[in-house]
A and B are shown apart, each in its own frame.
Chain A
Amino acid sequence: MSEVESTTLTNTAATSAQGERAALMRLDHVTVEFPGRDGKAPFHAVDDVSLTISKGDIYGIIGFSGAGKSTLVRTMNVLQRVTSGSVTFNGKEISSLSESELKPVRRKIAMIFQHFNLMPSRTVLDNVTLPLVHERISKADAKAKALRLLDLVGIADKANVYPRQLSGGQQQRVAIARALIGDPEILLCDEATSALDPRTTRSILTLLKDLNARLGLTIVLITHQMQVVKDICTRIAVVDHGRLVDDGGILDVFAHPTSELTREFIYTSGNINKGLELVRTHDLFAAERDAGNVYLLSSVGQGAEETLMADVHRRYGVTGNIIFGNVDVIHDTPFGMILVSLEGTPDAVRGALEYFATVGVEATPLADVHVNETQAEGEDDE
């Protein structure tokens, strides 16, 4: 621990530039290359990714399966070696440490998994204390600590049962307790809720949020479900083919997505894909569709679409018909997406669109709105 602190000193300049929230983990141009089979070109699972995770963040990394996000998160505890670039934890470069040097570091970077990965032959209690084998802690103290953590994650009564007797949600709680036993500073969650039903997913996310608030635990969450990100993340990074295509505070990214993929995730998670399908295929909207005046409006922190429509009518004589709408709450802030058809002269419509931009409402013509079908199906599976 002390060596980690001493090396942090060399990095104070960099962290203070970050403001009051210190950088806990930094990836600098991280690339992971897998050799191509049968003479094929090497495959870049992670391609030049740079990102900074600050203390206290709940950092969501979202992408489709195969996008390289699991490989990316494994570079953070060096379960995966980087081909180039560096991973810095607490100001100390960890990506080039030897396996034995990594042991104490990994105790501070805990991890939970999609399939929980509990040891089937050990009781819940023995699973939780397993990471302590080399710590200077008595059996009794280890047991007391494990019981305290099992209580914290809400399954104190299951200490002496075997993992197989538990439900998925309970197993993930045990895995979280095991992850916390070494007093980690950061918890990496690799698709931790993907094997769980929606209700259990919510309860695990609530637990993670609670741990973040109570223990100041920094959390990195890998997922393909935008709902998970929307529920608890403060920051988000979008990964596509190993590359980081968007990252920032969650509301910023939702308000101003810079990549097509991010838009897709946002539209899909807002269920707006159902509205889009309706407008694009239903006879009812044939006229609006053909006129090309259907727009998707998205806004953060507004939540007053009627007022907006009244405004454009008063100012520009444009009539806005709301076809489909969805309002989410992300971090206590309403995030709205509505499909409207704007009726008026071309100049008036242009004026209305300019007005939307001035009030922070993003307007996208229907033709430019793309939703990934596979993602839509994925969400239906839940």
Chain B
Amino acid sequence: MMSDVLNTLLPNVSQIWPEVWEATGETVYMVVVGAIIGYAIGLVFGLLLLLTGRGGLLRNAIVYNILDKAVNILRSIPFIILMALLVGVTRVIVGTSIGTNAMIVPIVGATIPFYARQVENALLEIDNGLVEAAKASGLGTLDIIWRVYLREGRVPIIRVSALSFINVVAFSAMAGVVGGGGLGNLAIIRGYNRFQGDVTLVATLIILIIVFISQFLCNWLARRLQH
């Protein structure tokens, strides 16, 4: 009964459910691994931007300017071109330039500059008085990074992580088309190329569900940590 309705509504999708679930798994894998690696490295660069920038604890105009320009330039490159640019790097790191693992390299590459800037801006919001108070209490730079910036900035960092996650999902969808698999790939090769509109629709819905879950988790965490 139920399957009859689905067969009628989603004539093409109902033929390839295993493929849909596999693509979903690939997408989840790419975005989760890509986000974790990209966020970790992006966080470090975001902190470096913050610390070497004007008014930062490790003020250094040369380092800041290099990082600042690098972030701006990398963020200006369209993702699809970045993938092409990074193909050599991908081969060196992963050993191949196709498949989900290979696609994680450009996803990380695109996430780092975006996320670094987001982190920098989020942490700039922290009252400089807190840093001053910590310094006056005899805390060192590492203490201040750990106990003031990352601790007091954890809610804004979670919020920018949620925001950046949407970008990561978008990168993964594009990466799929070039040979990474996932829902983006499915929507294009089936929905677009073979005019199977229902496949596109289901792929879209699953992507939206992934995004909604990520936003919900981040909001929940942010609310719990907010005082």
Q: Which A residues fall within an 8 A CB radius of B?
A: 77, 79, 99-100, 102-107, 109-111, 113, 115, 117-122, 130-131, 133-134, 162, 164, 175, 178, 182, 188
Contacts and interface: CB of A to CB of B under 8 A. Distances in A.
A133 B136 contact: no
Given A113-B129, A113-B133, A121 B152 contact: yes
Interface string B157-194: 00000000000000000000000000000000000000
A115 B129 CA distance: 8
A213 B53 CA distance: 44
B138 interface: yes
Contacts of B135: 79, 106
A113 to B, nearest CB: 6
A130 B227 contact: no
B151 interface: yes
Interface in B95-144: 127, 129-130, 132-141, 143
A171 to B, nearest CB: 12
Nearest to B146: A133
Nearest to A109: B136
A100 B227 CA distance: 32
Contacts of B133: 111, 113, 117-118, 175, 178
A117 B144 CA distance: 14
Contacts of A111: 133, 136
B154 A131 contact: no
Most buried by A among B127, B129, B133, B135: B133
Given A117-B127, A117-B130, A133-B147, A110 B152 contact: no
B47 interface: no
13 contacts: A99-B141, A100-B140, A106-B135, A106-B137, A111-B133, A111-B136, A115-B127, A117-B132, A118-B133, A119-B151, A121-B151, A133-B139, A178-B137
A115 B137 CA distance: 16
Interface in B185-227: 225, 227
B148 interface: yes
Interface residue SS majority, chain A: mixed
Given A106-B135, A131-B139, A162-B227, 16 more contacts: A100-B140, A104-B138, A105-B138, A111-B136, A117-B127, A117-B130, A117-B132, A118-B133, A120-B152, A130-B134, A131-B137, A134-B143, A164-B227, A178-B133, A178-B137, A182-B137
Contacts of B137: 106-107, 110, 130-131, 178, 182
A217 to B, nearest CB: 16
B136 A119 contact: no
A120 B227 CA distance: 7
Interface residues of B, number: 22
Closest 3 interchain pairs by CB? A117-B133, A131-B137, A117-B129
B139 A121 contact: no
Nearest to B154: A121
B136 A79 contact: yes
Contacts of B141: 99
Given A133-B147, A164-B227, A106 B138 contact: yes
Contact of B138 (A122, A131, A164, A175): A131
Contacts of A113: 129, 132-133
Contacts of B138: 102-107, 131, 134, 182
Given A121-B154, A121-B227, A77 B140 contact: no
B153 to A, nearest CB: 9
B43 to A, nearest CB: 18
Nearest to A122: B151
Nearest to B140: A103
Contact of B148 (A105, A119, A164): A119
Interface in B33-91: none
A130 B147 contact: yes
Nearest to A132: B137
A131 B225 CA distance: 22
Contact of B136 (A110, A118, A162): A110
A119 B152 contact: yes
Contacts of A99: 140-141
A161 to B, nearest CB: 9
A15 to B, nearest CB: 25
A119 B130 contact: yes
B48 to A, nearest CB: 18
Contacts of A134: 138, 143
Most buried by B among A105, A122, A175: A122
B135 to A, nearest CB: 6
A120 B148 CA distance: 10
Contacts of A133: 139, 143, 147
